[in-house]
Every structure is written in C-alpha cells, then in structure tokens.
Amino acid sequence: MDFFQIIGDYITKAAQGFADSFYQNFIEDNRWKYLTSGLVNTLLITAGALVLGVVLGFLIALIRTTHDKTGKLGFLNWLAKLYLTVIRGTPVVVQLMIVYFVIFASVRINQVVVAIIAFGINSGAYVAEIFRSGIMSIDPGQMEAGRSLGLNYRQTMWKIIMPQAVKNVLPALGNEMITLLKETSVAGYIAIRDLTKGGDIIRNRTYSPFLPLLAVAAIYLVIVLILQALVGRMERRLAKSDRN
Amino acid sequence: MIEIKNLEKAFGKLEVLKGITTTINKGDKVVIVGPSGSGKSTFLRCLNLLETPTGGEIWFEGQQINAPKVNVDKLRCKMGMVFQHFNLFPHLTILQNITLAPISLKLKSKEEASEQARQLLKRIGLLDKANTYPAMLSGGQKQRVAIVRALAMNPDVMLFDEPTSALDPEMVGEVLQLMKELAADGMTMVCVTHEMGFAREVANRVLFMDEGLILEESDNPADFFTNPKNPRAQEFLSKVL
C-alpha cells in the first residue's frame, strides 16, 4: 500500500464514520426534532422574558431615577432596591427553581410560562440598571430646558430624556438580550425541553456527545449573530441625529 | 411684572442668596453683573423656579409663585429661558426643537407650530437648517435656535443665563445682535452676562451682585459703568473693562 492509499482509506473511513454518526444523531427516529422543538421553546422563553424584562426594567429605572431627581416615591424606591439586590445576588437557576417548585408548586401551569416569568423577573433587574445608567448619563441641562419650556416632569422624561437614554443604552440592551438567550439554557432544570435539553436528550439516546452538543452550540451562535445584526441595524437608525 | 422680596437661597449650609429685593417692570432690560460665585445665576434660576427659594417671595403678574400649589409648568410657559450651554435637544431636528413644547402643551396644532417655527427660523436666517440636527450647527447658531425655541412659547419675559459665555469669540456678535433685536421689540429681559458692552448699550437697568446681595442698582447703565458708587463694583469693573 502506498502512502496516498493509506491517507485515502483514512479519509473514507472518517467520512463514513461522520455520516453514520450524523445519521444516528439527527436522522434516525427523527432525532433532529429534539433540536427544532427545543429551539422553539428557547426562543419563546427568550422573547417572552425579554418583553417582561424590558417592561419591568423600564418601570424600575423610572422609579429609581424619579426618586433620585425629585425625592418622591421613597417606598417604591426601597422596594426596587430590594428587588435589585435579591435578583442580582442569587443565581438565575436557583430563582427559576424557586419560582417553579415553590411559588407555583401547587398550581398546574405550563413550564414555559414559568420560565418566562422567572427569566423575565431576572432580566428586569439588569435591564433596570441599564436604563438607569442611560437616564443618568443625560445632561441635567436637558431636563432643565424641557421644564423651563413648560413641559412637566413626565412629558420631559418621555419626550426628551428617554429617547436619548434608550439610544445610549442600546448596545448594553443588546448584550443583555444575548445573555438572556444563553441563560435560558438552564430551563431543563424545570423539565423544559429547550434547545440545550434537546441536544442532551439526543446524547442520552446515542451515547455520542460530540455532534449533538456541537449542533446546539452552533444554533445558539447563529441566533446570537442574528440578534447582533438586528441591534446593529437599530443603532444605525437611531444614530441619524449624530454629526455625519 | 416681577417683584422679588427678600429672596434667599441656601444649598445646605451654603447661603448663595442673602436677601434680594428688586422689581422688574414690563419692558425692562435688566442686566445682572458681578464676579463668579456672586449668586447671579442662582438668582435668575430662582425666577422660574429651576431653583426653589429657601426664603422670601417672588411675585409674577400678581401671583406669588414660590407658594405651595402654584402650577409651575403654567408659569414657566410665560418665562422663556436661555442657557449658557444652549441645551438643545440633540435627538430632535431644529424644527422639532422649536415646536416640541407648543405642540406637547396643545397650545398650537402641528401645522401652526411648524409655520411659526419656520417664521422664527427665517428671522434668524436658519430656515435652511430646519430639518437638520443640533450637532450640525455652530455654537452661535445653536444659541440663536435656543432663543427662538423659547420665543415660540410667546413668553412675557425672557431670562438669559450667560448666553454667550460658552461661545467662540467670533460667534458672540450674532447672538448679541438677536438679543438686541428682541430688546428693540420691547421684550422684557433679564440677562446675566459678562458682556459689558451689551449691558451698556441695551440695558435700562444694571444690578451689581456680590456674595448673594445686590450691592448697586442703577437706572443709568452708562453712569454705572463709568462711575460705580460701590467700592466692590469699582474693583470689579476695573478688572473687566
């Protein structure tokens, strides 16, 4: 046997092995469906939690900055600070399990809904601080200018401060969105078949970890790339008032 | 029009205004001069309650404005304010900067407000900039837009807080020119400034402030600038003129 034949045989065998493994992990028994149905759950949880987190974070940030600027809303501010401390001070997977096994223990409820609530509450704490930093970054002269034109606090906040703050924090919000997507990979702890769990189920059936996990990782990466592109596009749209 | 009685303002233990009493009549062009830290800006900011006075009274058009339950927002519609750093809204076009308040406060329809804004921009020669953003304007242009933004509310009095201090020297003239035109139109103006030439030319009254008090008040600016009575005013003017 000459050298090239040895190499050729080796490549043929490797390709054959890969094809077998691919067939076994994804095609046989329609195992690819674990990944696609898992992806649907992952995206559902991420999208739901994102909406909940942004709404929650926005409200918390408004309470905190209004308190800082006007001295009002003392009790709500205290509550908001407690929320931030507890949520940011404990692991998300523990929060997820507490919500599912303790708070909703005696209620029949879809796990995906539970996950949306848990991840939404978690993300809200981070989004709140992102929004707050955005609001604080706006020159106090903007508030003064708005108020001196006769706009009230709420109108000034809504029409002058917030549009600028949101634009400033867009990269940080995009980052939070990406983090959230990846954090949902612990949803399997409350028996949700998300993308990660889907890959894990395949691994359990076929005893081959390489391809299922690689596929899971690749799918996350692709989703993140798509999210990044979306955020970049939004940033460019909001940048039109900058010097060109 | 504005009556100020024994106005005091303290930030914590720091007393910035220690009892200011004066009256600003309709049509007055009052210029406030004095060294930095004398409380000039704080005094001006008290007039539209950007700072809350800690003592004394301010009366505006027959109403005490530093009393509880006063509608501050309504009051501020009648008082235009121009800031040292312009404070244009960077996310809005020049036109939107001017129309935001009249439209938001439902004083004018969108069309009326835009039409008025165009008139104002035409007056300052910046109509072609209506749809650009503040970042694309020079400092002098920004300040002139800030002035007409305040004018769009049809205020009864205009407050100027060192309107030319942040400008490059060659842009000071265009802003002062616009202020002179306003003065000629009969606008009541209160202006904190370091532009002594402007003060001498336009003001009908000069207040000299130092350490939170009005030390000299003159109805004859030309006389004040050549013959100040108060020794501190003499010292100050000898340094700046």
Mutate to test the interface with A, among B72, B92, B104 (most CBs of A within 10 A): B104
Which residue in chain A has the smallest CA separation from B94?
Answer: A241
DSSP-assigned states of every residue in A44-107: HHHHHHHHHHHHHHHHHHHHHHHHHHHS--HHHHHHHHHHHHHHHHS-HHHHHHIIIIIITTTS
The whole-angstrom separation of Cα A154 and Cα A73 is 14
B137 to each of B86, B88, B100, how far by Cα in Å? 12, 11, 19
Q: What is the pLDDT of residue A1?
A: 64
Query: β-pairing, B188-192 with B157-161?
Result: parallel
Q: What is the pLDDT of residue A161?
A: 95
Q: How many angstroms away from the CA of A168 is the closest CA of chain B?
A: 11
Q: Which of B156, B123, B25 is nearest to A150 (CA)?
A: B156
Q: What is the pLDDT of residue B201?
A: 87
The whole-angstrom separation of Cα B237 and Cα B225 is 7
The identity of residue A114, as a single letter, is: V
Mutate to test the interface with B, among A70, A137, A149 (most CBs of B within 10 A): A149
Average pLDDT rounded to a whole number, residues A145-157 = 94
0.85 surpassed by complex ipTM:
yes
Average pLDDT rounded to a whole number, residues A83-105 = 94
Task: Determine, for residues B87 and A141 on separate chains, whether the beta-carbon distance falls below 8 Å.
Answer: yes
Q: How many angstroms away from the CA of A121 is the closest CA of chain B?
A: 31
The whole-angstrom separation of Cα B45 and Cα B52 is 9
Q: What is the pLDDT of residue A243?
A: 59
Average pLDDT rounded to a whole number, residues A94-114 = 91
* Confidence band for A242, pLDDT divided at 50, 70 and 90: confident
Q: Which of B127, B116, B34, B47 is nearest to B79 (CA)?
A: B47
Q: What is the pLDDT of residue A72?
A: 85
Q: What is the pLDDT of residue A219?
A: 95
Task: Determine, for residues B87 and A244 on separate chains, whether the beta-carbon distance falls below 8 Å.
Answer: no
A66-93 exposure pattern, b = at least 16 Cβ within 10 A, e = fewer: bbeeeeebeebbeebeebbeebeeeebb
Q: What is the pLDDT of residue A71?
A: 83
Q: How many angstroms away from the CA of A151 is the closest CA of chain B?
A: 6
Report pLDDT digits (tens) over A2-27. Answer: 888 889 999 999 999 888 888 888 88
Chain A residues within an 8 Å CB radius of B134: 241
Q: How many angstroms away from the CA of A227 is the closest CA of chain B?
A: 25
As a whole number, the mean pLDDT across chain A is 91
Domains defined for chain A, CATH in brackets: 36-185+193-243 (1.10.3720.10)
| pTM across the whole model | 0.84
Task: Determine, for residues B87 and A150 on separate chains, whether the beta-carbon distance falls below 8 Å.
Answer: no
- Point out the residue among B73, B91, B133 whose CB comes nearest to the CB of A150: B73
Which residue in chain B has the smallest CA separation from A158?
Answer: B104
Contacts across the A-B interface (CB distance below 8 Å): 72
Neighbours of B113 (CB within 10 A): 21
Strand ordering across the sheet containing B55-60: B14-24, B2-11, B55-60, B63-64
- Residue A158, pLDDT above cutoff 60: yes
Q: How big is chain A by its Cα radius of gyration, in Å?
A: 24
Task: Determine, for residues A141 and B153 on separate chains, whether the beta-carbon distance falls below 8 Å.
Answer: no
Q: What is the pLDDT of residue A107?
A: 85
Q: Is A148 helix (H, G, I), strand (E, B) or coil?
A: helix
Stated as kind and residue range, the H or E segment containing B77 is helix B72-77
Is residue B87 within 8 angstroms of chain A, CB to CB?
A: yes
Average pLDDT rounded to a whole number, residues A32-57 = 94
Q: How many H helices and E strands in chain B? A: 9, 10
- Point out the residue among B76, B93, B134 whose CB comes nearest to the CB of A149: B76
Q: How many CA atoms lie within 13 A of B100 on its CB side?
A: 27
According to DSSP H, which parts of chain A are helical? 3-22, 32-70, 74-89, 92-97, 111-136, 140-148, 153-156, 162-183, 195-206, 210-238
Which positions in chain A have a beta carbon within 8 angstroms of at least one beta carbon in chain B?
A: 139, 141-142, 144-152, 155, 159-160, 163-164, 167, 240-244
Which residue in chain A has the smallest CA separation from B151?
Answer: A149
Task: Please report, in tens digits, the pLDDT of each residue of chain B (241 residues total).
Answer: 899 999 999 998 999 999 999 999 999 999 999 998 899 999 999 999 999 999 999 999 888 998 888 899 999 999 999 999 999 999 999 999 999 999 999 999 999 999 999 999 999 999 999 999 999 999 999 999 999 999 999 999 999 999 999 999 899 999 999 999 999 999 999 999 988 888 888 899 999 999 999 999 988 888 898 888 999 999 998 888 7
CB < 8 Å from A in window 168-227 of B: none
